[in-house]
Amino acid sequence: MRATRRRGHLRVGIVCPYSFDAPGGVQFHVRDLAEALQAAGHEVSVLAPSSDDTDLPDVVTAAGRAVPVPYNGSVARLTFGPVTATRVRRWLEAGIGGRPFDIVHLHEPMVPSLSMLALWQAAEPVVATFHTSQTRSRALQVAYPLVRQSLEKIAARIAVSEDARRTLVDHLGGDAVVIPNGVYTDVFASSPRRPEWTGTPQAPTVAFLGRLDEPRKGLDVLVRAIPGILAQAPGTRFLVAGRGNGAVGETREALGDLAASVEFLGGVSDADKAALLASADLYVAPQTGGESFGIVLVEAMAAGSVVVASDLGAFQRVLDAGAAGALFRTGDPDDLAATVLALLADPARRDAYRAHAEHWVQRFDWSGVTEQVLAVYDMTLAADHAIGGDVVGRVMGLFPRRVGGDA
């Protein structure tokens, strides 16, 4: 049995299953959580797949090159196998400064990558965060037999949304506390506008951000809405940011003469993303499914852009049931066009959305989210750390399913 340790100075090991070579939402969440924990006075080490030549944050240890695998309507870059397992073991043994981790925080431990390997090997108290939202997941069904016994080692489960919690409950049983993804809201709120991206009453700007070649990100829905928008607001400019060069030519071909209204910005830096969201009149999130949260919606609200999003359950919750942003029928380009046109014609409604969003987004700020995560760490360290027995039940019984409110 390990000696318990309450909050003070903690050594936290975080494992990310997805590669930092092509970072996405989970990688950014892990990166920012590590930074927030360090700012709170704790020591952190992150283990993640990555090539040796990738520029990584100082806190991240590369675990080797990853292999692209289709997963949840996207392409996940994962690493697995005996060599990787050895790297995980060595990282766990090294801890921080030769001293063991107090907490090992795994992200997506059901994904066959580093987190699953760390779950098998970890002797430290384990907290796991689940990000995936799917009605029926073959991947989770396949992975469950591989980790069924090891799941008992997870002392506390976190889900980033009610949708992710429901996926976890349906596929694995048990429960999880809901703690949302975090955003440094002040970074987006203070971002300067870029003149080239700032709209005018005659030429408003509509932004989209996401991988262009992932159908579930919904670029095709936006593209099919563009003719209807331009028919009534011909000066509208569409700013499309994200990787996926193959989709650029297809989009231009589909739009024909209207393609001149679309500017493809390619991949953007964090600073450029914040400036884009601060500059655009509207941010459109036309995703068609597979979303458990919607971090870019929070970033857009924090930056002062009015959000127009498909009415996925996760997006409805992030937008406070439509009070913090407009919702349209998922996959319906005509409804998207009508919603965009209604907002462009109604400055007072846009101002109302911004005013509500300015206060609403504070529940997603890292200052509060970090405290919620640390509360879970506290409860975990206060519980019996022995492997076996009803560890999960004892820990989960110490705090409500939602830490910090309904977010």
Residue by residue, DSSP assigns 293-358 as --HHHHHHHHHTPEEEEE--HHHHHHTGGGTSSEEE-TT-HHHHHHHHHHHHT-HHHHHHHHHHHH
The answer to whether the CB of 105 falls within 8 A of the CB of 135 is no
192 and 176 in a common domain: no
Most distant CA pair in the chain, distance: 70
What pLDDT is stored for residue 237 in this prediction? 98
162 and 191 in a common domain: no
The answer to whether the CB of 307 falls within 8 A of the CB of 353 is yes
CB atoms near residue 238 (< 10 Å)? 25
Number of domains in the chain: 2
3-state secondary structure at position 286: coil
24 and 154 in a common domain: yes
What pLDDT is stored for residue 23 in this prediction? 76
Residue 323 lies in a domain: yes
197 and 77 in a common domain: no
Name the token pair of 365: 């700020």
Torsion of CA 114, 120, 121, 123, to 10 degrees: 120
Residue 157: name the closest of 131, 120, 135, 182 by CA. 131
344 and 203 in a common domain: yes
Residue 402 lies in a domain: no
382 and 258 in a common domain: no
213 and 345 in a common domain: yes
Residue 154 to residue 124: CA distance in whole angstroms? 10
What pLDDT is stored for residue 10 in this prediction? 96
Phi, psi of 62 (to 5 degrees): -75, 135
What is the CATH classification number for the domain harbouring 130?
Answer: 3.40.50.2000
What pLDDT is stored for residue 385 in this prediction? 46
What pLDDT is stored for residue 334 in this prediction? 98
- The structure's pTM equals 0.85
318 and 194 in a common domain: yes
3-state secondary structure at position 12: strand
Q: How far is CA 8 from the centre of its chain?
A: 28
Helix axes 295-303, 270-279, angle to 10 degrees: 60
CB atoms near residue 375 (< 10 Å)? 18
Residue 5 lies in a domain: no
CB atoms near residue 280 (< 10 Å)? 28
Residue 289 lies in a domain: yes
Residue 122 to residue 110: CA distance in whole angstroms? 15
200 and 175 in a common domain: no
Per-residue pLDDT tens for 271-300?
999 999 999 999 999 999 888 899 999 999
Residue 149 to residue 164: CA distance in whole angstroms? 21
Torsion of CA 102, 106, 110, 113, to 10 degrees: -110
What pLDDT is stored for residue 98 in this prediction? 94
What pLDDT is stored for residue 398 in this prediction? 45
What pLDDT is stored for residue 144 in this prediction? 63
What pLDDT is stored for residue 69 in this prediction? 63
List helix spans (H) across 233-269.
245-255
108 and 164 in a common domain: yes
221 and 83 in a common domain: no
Residue 223 lies in a domain: yes
392 and 276 in a common domain: no
CB atoms near residue 185 (< 10 Å)? 21
Name the token pair of 369: 């989210």
Residue 405 lies in a domain: no
**Residue 378, domain extent:** 11-182+365-396
> What residue type is 143 in one-letter code?
A
What pLDDT is stored for residue 137 in this prediction? 55
What pLDDT is stored for residue 401 in this prediction? 45
pLDDT means over runs of 10, the chain (407 residues): 58 94 87 97 95 88 76 61 89 96 95 89 95 67 66 92 90 89 97 97 96 92 98 98 87 94 95 98 95 93 98 95 98 98 98 98 97 95 57 48 43
Residue 406 lies in a domain: no
